[in-house]
Amino acid sequence: MSFEGKAVIVTGGGSGMGKASALSFAERGANVLVADISGDSAEKTVEEITAAGGKAYAHTFDLRDRDQVVGMIAAGVEQLGGLDVLANVGAISANQSVEEMTLEFWENMQTTNLRGNMLGMQAAIPHLRERNGSIVNVASGAAFYAVPGLAAYSASKAGLIAMGRVLAQENAPYIRVNAVLPGPTKSAMSDGVKSTAAVAAKRAAVGQTIGRWLDPSEIADVVVWVSSDAARAVNGALFRVDGGHHML
C-alpha cells in the first residue's frame, strides 16, 4: 500500500490508534497533519515520523471548538497542498448512567465525538471531492453492544457511524466514507475509563475471544488499508476490529 505524495490528516494523532495510524501513513509515503488537543503529544508523533525520514506537521486544536476544527482542516489543506484522507480518530470516553447523567457530561461527549467530527468532515468535503478522497471514522464496538454507563459514548459513536454513511451517499462516487469499530485496545483511553462492574465484565470477556487486548497498531492497520486504493471498492462499510469481541 503506497501513500506516496498523499495528503493525510489524522485527528487524535498524539496518542494510541491515532498515533499508530499517523506513523503508518507516513511510513507509506504520506505527508501527514498530526492534529490533537495535546500539542506536546502531536509534536512527539511528528518527531518520530521525521526521525524515520517521513514528513509531518503538528497541529493543536480542540474538537469542541467550531473555529478550531474548521481551522485545523484549512491548515492541513494548506500545509499538505490538498487533502486525500481524513482519519477521525480523536475522541473522549467516560461513563455515567443515564439516570445520573448531567447535561454537561452528555453535551461534552456529543460535542467532542460527534459534532466535532461533523464539522471536520463538512470542512473537508470540497477538498476530498477534488481528489476522490476518503474519510475513515474510528467509532467503537460500543455503538452496538450495551454496557451500562456508556450511553453517551455509545450514542456518540453510533451517531458518527450513521452520519458517515449518509455523507458517503451524499458524496458518491467522489468520497468514500468507512468506519472502524475497535474492540478493547491498550491506550491512554482504555487505561483511563472508570472500571464499573459492567465495564470490567465486558473487558474480562476479551479472554474468551482473541485472548488479549489489542495493540493500537492493529487498529491502525485497518484504518490505513481502508483509506488506501486497495479498498477503492469499499464504501459505507463498518469494520469490527476487535478480535471477535462482538460475538459474545
Ligand X SMILES: NC(=O)c1ccc[n+]([C@@H]2O[C@H](COP(=O)([O-])OP(=O)(O)OC[C@H]3O[C@@H](n4cnc5c(N)ncnc54)[C@H](O)[C@@H]3O)[C@@H](O)[C@H]2O)c1
DSSP state of 136: E
Q: Which one among 22, 73, 91, 125 touches ligand X, defined by CB under 6 A? A: 91
Q: Are strands 55-60 and 134-138 parallel, antiparallel or unpaired?
A: unpaired
Q: Containing H/E element for 38?
A: none
Closest distance of CB 216 from ligand X, Å: 5
Instruction: Reply yes or no: is the peptide bond before residue 216 cis, omega within 30 of 0.
Output: no
Interface with ligand X, residue 92, by CB under 6 A: yes
Q: Which one among 3, 6, 10, 12 touches ligand X, defined by CB under 6 A? A: 12
Interface with ligand X, residue 216, by CB under 6 A: yes
Look up residue 228 and give its three cell numbers: 488506501
Amino acid letter at 232?
A: R
Q: Are strands 238-241 and 176-182 parallel, antiparallel or unpaired?
A: parallel
Q: Which range touches ligand X (CB under 6 A), out of 50-58, 83-91, 161-169, 230-238?
A: 83-91
Closest distance of CB 238 from ligand X, Å: 13
Is 145 an active-site residue?
no
**Which residue is catalytic, options 57, 145, 153, 174?**
153
Q: Residue 97 and residue 45: Cα distance in Å, rounded?
A: 35
Closest distance of CB 174 from ligand X, Å: 25
Closest distance of CB 179 from ligand X, Å: 11
Residue whose C-alpha is closest to residue 171's, from 209, 138, 124, 213: 124
Residue list 21-80, contact with ligand X (CB under 6 A): 36-38, 41, 61-64
Query: How many CA atoms are closer than 13 Å to the CA of 111, on its beta-carbon side?
Result: 10
Instruction: Spell out, one character per residue from 157 to 196, where the chain touches ligand X: x when CB under 6 A holds, - when not.
Output: -------------------------x-xx-xxxx------
Amino acid letter at 223?
A: V
Interface with ligand X, residue 224, by CB under 6 A: no
Residue whose C-alpha is closest to residue 231's, from 184, 183, 179: 179
Q: Helices 16-27 and 39-51 sit at what angle, rounded to 10 degrees?
A: 30
Q: Residue 13 and residue 158: Cα distance in Å, rounded?
A: 22
Interface with ligand X, residue 120, by CB under 6 A: no
Residue nearest to ligand X (CB): 16
Instruction: Spell out, one character per residue from 130 to 149, where the chain touches ligand X: x when CB under 6 A holds, - when not.
Output: --------x-x---------
**Quick check: helix, strand or coil at residue 96?**
coil
- Residue nearer to ligand X on the CB measure, 29 or 39: 39
Catalytic positions are 153
Binding site for ligand X (CB under 6 A): 12, 14-18, 36-38, 41, 61-64, 89-93, 112, 138, 140, 182, 184-185, 187-190, 216
